[in-house]
Amino acid sequence: MPDTQRPMAVTLQVVSIVLFTFIGYLNIGIPLAVLPGYVHSQLGYGAVIAGLVISVQYLATLLSRPYAGKIIDNLGSKRAVLIGLVGCGLSGVFMLLAAWFSSLPAFSLGCLLIGRLVLGSAESLVGSGAIGWGIGRVGAADTAKVISWNGIASYGALAVGAPLGVLLVSHLGLWSMGVSIILLAVLGVLLAWKKQAAPIVPGIRLPFMNVLGRVLPHGCALALGSIGFGTIATFITLYYSTQHWDNAVWALSLFGASFIGARLLFGNLINRIGGFRVAIACLSVEVLGLLLLWLAPDAQLALAGAALRGFGFSGVLPALGVEAVSLVPASSRGSAVGAYSLFIDLSLGITGPLAGAVAAGFGFASIFLFAALAAFAGLLLSVYLYRQAPKARETRDA
């Protein structure tokens, strides 16, 4: 049984499953630092369209979360991961088409947008499916560990994927990203195919809107804290370019490295002191990092701001996630994970165009002040939820 496994055995079991999240998010990270510049410079579109190309993926993830939750709860999390990996491969095909028809800007942009929509739908299946698969294999008591390691896999993949994508394009061309994504998806399917599935939990499935209502306040705090990631992921390369700084891709990598480091250092803190306390502390650090990015006079301090932001955000998602998932019965856990994750998709989906509009009106540095204010609002909401937690637990138990 999951609860009789030793801590190291549990960790190894979790890591073997979140590997599929790593593969899925590596497919997301590879084009992350390349596409905004490609759309803006080579295809000739503005900052808002460049942001839209990134954000449309998150919009697709947002819209597909309810369907992904149903697949996980009814067909199993392994099936969801496999379907998602196939979708990742299909997005690579559209990336290839966009590269081959770069001389036709409108057609190339259309292929990119379709591929991003497919990739976004695949992300909801792989990310939530891996969490459900992990919890099903090791038990609900290790929910925080599963969500934490899933986050390490996802942001670690982004940290590795961003510079890898830049290297691929600089040496081989845009087409190499499409081929890499297809090959990674095939590898993921082969690895997942024979791996033991998690049992499907019997019981009444709560309607998705019911689940959504339960996790709504936690999700709103997560969404506000996620805007900083959207601004860094989408516009850090253009921000560095306007400041005449080099090596913008290292800001993404340092963000991911500090994110992973914080998860490894403080992975057990949620179970020891509670999710809300961890979220409040992490959001405070995140606000400081975003303010430093806003005020940075040189690339070195901008890197420090990105590192602080990654360090702070590392605990927000699992800390609030543990509190949110605990409000829903195990038979609807997949829907709960999907509903909670929906808010980070919503945040990232609107951040690109919204931050692009802020940058167009006030300059690229101003988007980090905008993100800092949003994170501060998430901090205030987390404090409120912490104070209301005893009452919420009484309502759940009743």
Helix ranges (H only) for 194-315 are 208-243, 249-266, 269-273, 275-295, 299-313
Residues 6+ apart with CB under 8 A from 230: 55, 58, 347, 348, 351, 352, 355, 371
**pLDDT the model gives residue 389:** 75
Q: Percentage of the chain with pLDDT > 90?
A: 22
pLDDT level of residue 52 (50, 70, 90 thresholds): confident
> How many CB atoms lie under 10 A from the CB of residue 389?
14
CATH number at residue 373: 1.20.1250.20
pLDDT level of residue 189 (50, 70, 90 thresholds): very high
Per residue in 364-387, pLDDT (tens digit) is: 788 899 999 999 999 999 999 998
User: Which contacts (CB < 8 Å, 24+ apart) does range 354-357 have?
Assistant: 355/51, 355/227, 355/230, 355/231, 355/234, 355/235, 356/46, 356/47, 356/48, 356/50, 356/51, 356/52, 356/234, 356/235, 357/48
Residues 6+ apart with CB under 8 A from 167: none
pTM > 0.85: yes or no: no
> How many CB atoms lie under 10 A from the CB of residue 80?
29
Number of domains in the chain: 1
Per residue in 73-91, pLDDT (tens digit) is: 788 889 999 999 999 999 9
Asked if pLDDT for residue 119 goes beyond 80, the answer is yes
Domain that holds residue 53: 2-197+205-397
